[in-house]
A = this chain, B = another copy of it.
Amino acid sequence: MTVWDRPEPPTRPAPLDRQRIVAAAVALADEGGLEAVSLRKVAARLDVGPMRLYGYISTKEELFDLMVDEVHAEILPDGRPGDWREALHGHAVRTRQAALRHEWLADLLGGRPSLGPNALAVTERTLAALDGLADLDTVTHAVQTVGAYTTGAIRREIAQLRAERATGLSELDWQRAYGPHVSRMLATGRYPTLARFVHDGREVTAEESFATGLEWVLDAVAARLDRPPA
Contacts and interface: CB of A to CB of B under 8 A. Distances in A.
Interface residues of A, number: 60
Nearest to A188: B117
A187 to B, nearest CB: 12
A90 interface: no
Interface string A115-129: 101001101100110
A156 B145 CA distance: 11
A158 to B, nearest CB: 9
A80 interface: no
Given A127-B194, A140-B204, A193-B127, A155 B110 contact: yes
Contacts of A196: 136
A38 interface: no
A221 interface: yes
Nearest to A179: B115
